[in-house]
Chain A
Amino acid sequence: EVQLVESGGGLVQPGGSLRLSCAASEFTFNNYYMSWVRQPPGKGLEWVANINQDGSEKYYVDSVKGRFTISRDNAKNSLYLQMNSLRADDTAVYYCARGYCSGGSCSVPPQYWGQGTLVTVSS
């Protein structure tokens, strides 16, 4: 069974930094696109960023561009999100999500999700 386990969330002051990690197991990690998706308390889902299989292509939602960096280490089966210059509106549960493969090609949209890690930005 596909496993995605996020870690690194917590309470941080505005302007601070955090690095989220996602440990992946039970699938061939370097075959799949990976994404970060967040959900503010009581609100809807928001796509944050995604990365292709070898890490050469990365895309971000405009609100985090220049502040967040998505990366992966295929040797460690791990996905990361470096978050800098954090703001109160970055407060959310952050989900790590794996794309899917169908008909011999692989795509970004998430098929499997972790349980999320809560990031709270507050003084």
Chain B
Amino acid sequence: SYELTQPPSVSVSPGQTARITCSGDALPKKYAYWYQQKSGQAPLLVIYEDNKRPSGIPERFSGSTSGTLATLTISGAQVGDEADYYCYSSDSSGNHRVFGGGTKLTVL
């Protein structure tokens, strides 16, 4: 079955740039999406279609893709950005969806 691979954890100091990666063989052909999940809360969509921000998401959140790698970048990370981040995409058929394993972002 198709898999998306994320690093388990990323740590940055406040104000630094955090980069979270997501690797998958179908990413050159399928969009990547990114979700933020804070403790005890439902996930929140922060990036869709590789690099678009939904309304209300701060500009410091951005997305990019290169080949089989998608990247979520948080510029000037804040303590309030501490959360688990998940990438999401589909296999090459487009019919089966998958989440990456999640990356815990620590800002301290």
Contact = CB atoms under 8 A, between A and B. Distances in A.
A61 B96 contact: yes
Contact of B98 (A47, A100, A114): A47
A44 interface: yes
Contacts of B90: 108
Nearest to A48: B97
A45 B96 contact: no
Contact of A113 (B1, B42, B49): B42
Contact of B42 (A46, A102, A115): A115
Contacts of B96: 47, 59, 61
Interface string B68-107: 0000000000000000101010100001111111100000
A47 B99 contact: yes
Contact of B97 (A35, A100, A102, A113): A35
Grouping DSSP codes into helix (H, G, I), strand (E, B) and loop, the B interface class, with mixed when no group exceeds half, is strand
B7 interface: no
Contacts of B1: 62
Interface string B26-49: 000001010101000011110011
Contacts of B35: 45, 110
Contacts of A100: 45, 48
B15 interface: no
A50 B102 contact: no
Interface string B1-41: 10000000000000000000000000000010101010000
11 contacts: A37-B43, A44-B100, A45-B99, A59-B95, A59-B96, A95-B42, A95-B43, A108-B97, A109-B88, A109-B97, A110-B88
Interface of B: 1, 31, 33, 35, 37, 42-45, 48-49, 52, 54, 84, 86, 88, 90, 95-102
A-B interface, 8 closest residue pairs, ranked by CB to CB distance from nearest: A47-B97, A113-B42, A44-B102, A45-B99, A109-B33, A59-B95, A111-B45, A44-B101
